[in-house]
Structure 1
Amino acid sequence: MLVSVMTPESRPRKRGGTSAQTAARLLILMDVLGLPVEPDCDLPEAVRVVRSLTRLEKLDFWLRNPDYLADELMIELEAARLPLATVQPHVERMLAASAHGHHYPMIRYKFGAYEVVDNALAKLKAFGLIVHRRGADSGDRARHDYYLLRRGADVANDMRASVPELQWYEQQADAIGFLSEAMQGSAARRRQYEQPEYRDAVLGSEIPPVFGRVRDRAVSLGLIEEAA
């Protein structure tokens, strides 16, 4: 029952998709990229934590915008921080024709890419898969930490076995993990602002795709072949 509720649907397709699609993505994100909880955590069923909604939003941007993530991996390759054997398979996958079916644009707001995920998080919480706690305050905003519970990790594993389409998001999350800035929301936000199309998007508008530019870069690096 839980798995069927979380299964991504092909329609309607709008921005981040349905709340069930968003919930599925966020659950995979938390399972793959969440930090192990501390031994003294007062939530005995918690297994991983994502510290702050900002980090969750920035991770979701890379997850659902494969063109931007592919460009980040190539930046790491050119800086000799990642090897070719790591980068090339991910870049090939993210720039293949099928990648467009996994592209969900986000809106540019004051603090960067943003999408309301309250309904998706509420769905995960209602099924007993996550809990959130108020963490340390950050500036003028309260920080909320999101804990993946053991039940949530079990559901994520069930979904992997029963929904092959989720393998894409698993691979995306693995690729995000190669970026050191992914560990902190503020660092991820700064890095995303280094992309000119992201930075220059009008407030309230969709952040435009960069598949063309990124594909040209991949061709110049010999990672993919030029389209006929």
Structure 2
Amino acid sequence: MSSPTTRMQDAVRILMLIDKAAEPISNSDVSADAALASAVGVVRSQVRLQKLDFWVRNPDYLANELLNDYENGDQDLALLGLAAEILDTEEPEMRRYPMLRYLFGAYEDLEDALAVLRHADLVVRRKQGRPGHVTRTDYFLLQAGRDTVAKIGTDFPELMWYSARSALVVQLAEGQGATQLKDRQYIVDEYLNTSHGVRIPSITERARRRLAAIREEIEEKQE
């Protein structure tokens, strides 16, 4: 298992995830909020951000979901190739950063990382509800945040792995709300059965066995 993430590493990962996951903003979002004048997109709800981040942080679970989509869909070989791109390498071992299992699924405190982004005026956080009863937290990406992602890509190309994986995760989650993503992750037994407050275990070897079985089935059909 890879070592724990640093605050700055988390900030870079979350910035790139928000950049890829951000939806278009509406006029009502920015009309009465001067701080959002340069906003270029928004991720609606902390739950959604956490669920997407789980797949970025856990390539083994991401690959397993790609295999699910392959088997439950029209057996698109592109999906199989994307899963193989992860499982045929040491990515699940080298890039995996486990998350804790809480009452509503995988969770990791993102406040330190988001504080870095907010302090640098890259992201603006807006809460809905009232003090003591927040109903939703939205994360607005500012133009400076998008420009920073581009600069990171130029100056530190090795960090663009986060951007590439974020794009894949967003593609996997397309059309699904935060609750649907949560329910989808609960389907995995290892995730569901992890005790409260314990880090969710790896499923790398099981996912690799699935990939091998699918490949064997394809070979048999071609004979």
- Asked if Structure 1 and Structure 2 have the same fold, meaning a TM-score greater than 0.5 normalized by the shorter chain, the answer is yes
Give the CA deviation at 1:183.
Answer: 4.2
- With over 3 angstroms needed to count, the CA separation of the structure-2 counterparts of 1:71 and 1:106, relative to structure 1, is same
- Aligned counterparts, 1:20-99, within 5 A: 20-42=8-30, 43-80=36-73, 83-85=76-78, 87-95=79-87, 96-99=89-92
* Separation in 2, partners of 1:107, 1:209: 12
* Separation in 2, partners of 1:81, 1:39: 39
- Aligned counterparts, 1:90-169, within 5 A: 90-95=82-87, 96-135=89-128, 141-169=134-162
Segments of 5+ residues of structure 2 without an aligned counterpart are 31-35, 217-223
For the 8 Å contact 1:53–1:144, the answer to whether it is kept is yes
For the 8 Å contact 2:70–2:80, the answer to whether it is kept is no
* Separation in 2, partners of 1:162, 1:130: 21
Q: Aligned pair 1:197/2:190, yes or no?
A: yes
* Separation in 1, partners of 2:46, 2:75: 28
* Separation in 2, partners of 1:159, 1:18: 17
Give the CA deviation at 1:168.
Answer: 1.9
Classify the secondary structure of the residue corresponding to 1:105.
coil
Query: Between the two proteins, what is the percent identity of the paired residues?
Result: 37
For the 8 Å contact 2:39–2:143, the answer to whether it is kept is yes
Paired residues, number: 207
For the 8 Å contact 1:59–1:182, the answer to whether it is kept is no
* Separation in 2, partners of 1:181, 1:192: 15
- With over 3 angstroms needed to count, the CA separation of the structure-2 counterparts of 1:82 and 1:61, relative to structure 1, is farther
Q: Which of 204, 210, 219 matches 1:217?
A: 210
Match of 2:6 in 1: 18
Tell me the TM-score normalized by structure 1.
Answer: 0.84
Q: Which amino acid aligns with 1:20?
A: M
Give the CA deviation at 1:179.
Answer: 2.4
Structure of higher CA gyration radius: 2
How much is the aligned-residue C-alpha RMSD, in angstroms? 2.0
